[in-house]
Amino acid sequence: MKIAHELPGRIRFRALSSYDSRLHAEFAQSLRDTVAGVSGVRSNPVARSLIVHHDGRTETRRSLVRAIANTPPAPRPRILETSPTARHLRRTAVSALTFAVGLLLPPAWRAGLTLAVVAPSLAKGANALLSRGLCVEVLDSTALGISMLRGDYAAAAATVTLLNLGEYFEATTSRSSTELLRRMLAEPPDSAWVEAGDGTLIEVPADKVRKEDIVVVGPGDMIPVDGQVISGSATVNEASITGESVPSDREAGALVLAGGVVEDGRLCIRAVRVGNATTTARIAKFIESTLDAKPAIQSSAERLADQRIFFTLVLGALTFAATRDLNRLASVFLVDYSCALKLGAPVAIKSALYRGAQANILIKGGLGIEALADVDTIVFDKTGTLTHSSLEVTDVVPINGVWTHGRLLALLASLEEHATHPVAEAIVQEARRNSLDHIHHDDVDFIVAHGLVSEVNGRRVVVGSRHFLEDHEQIAFGPFEAVSERLIAEGKTLLYAAADGTPAGVVGLRDHARSDAGATLARLRRLGIRHLVLLTGDRAEKARALAEELGLDMVFAEKRPEEKADVVRDLQARGHRVAFVGDGVNDAPALVAADVGIAMPRGADLARATADVVLLRDEIAGVAESRALAASTIGLIRSNFRWAVGLNTLLFIAAATGYASPVVSAFIHNGVTIGTLVRAVIGPRRVRRDDVRDSGSRRHDARASA
pLDDT, tens digit, 9 for 90 and up, residues 552-582: 999 998 887 678 888 999 999 999 999 999 8
CA distance 686 to 690: 12
How many Cβ atoms sit within 10 Å of the Cβ of residue 399?
19
The per-residue pLDDT for range 310-366, each reduced to its tens digit, is: 767 777 778 778 888 777 777 777 676 666 666 677 778 777 877 887 787 888 777
pLDDT at 376: 94
Closest by CA to 494, choosing from 509, 474, 481, 512, is: 509
- Which comes out higher in pLDDT, residue 108 or 166? 108
> Letter for the amino acid at 189?
P
What average pLDDT does this structure show over 656-682? 76
Residue 462 pLDDT class (50, 70, 90 cuts): very high
Q: Note the pTM of the prediction, 2 decimals.
A: 0.57
Q: Which of 381, 587, 595, 701 is catalytic?
A: 381
What average pLDDT does this structure show over 54-80? 75
pLDDT at 282: 66
Structural domains for the chain: 2-69 (3.30.1360.10), 191-285 (2.70.150.10), 379-390+514-578 (3.40.50.1000), 392-510 (3.40.1110.10)
pLDDT at 77: 46
Closest by CA to 385, choosing from 580, 572, 524, 529, is: 580
Residue 236 pLDDT class (50, 70, 90 cuts): confident
CA distance 291 to 365: 7
The per-residue pLDDT for range 605-643, each reduced to its tens digit, is: 555 666 788 887 888 899 999 999 999 888 888 888 887
Element (H, E) at 13: strand 10-14
Provide CB contacts within 8 A for 589, sequence distance 6+: 561, 562, 564, 565
Provide CB contacts within 8 A for 52, sequence distance 6+: 10, 11, 12, 13, 31, 38, 40, 41, 64
pLDDT at 297: 56
CA distance 465 to 689: 42
566 carries an active-site annotation? no
Q: Given a cut of 60, is residue 181 above it in pLDDT?
A: no
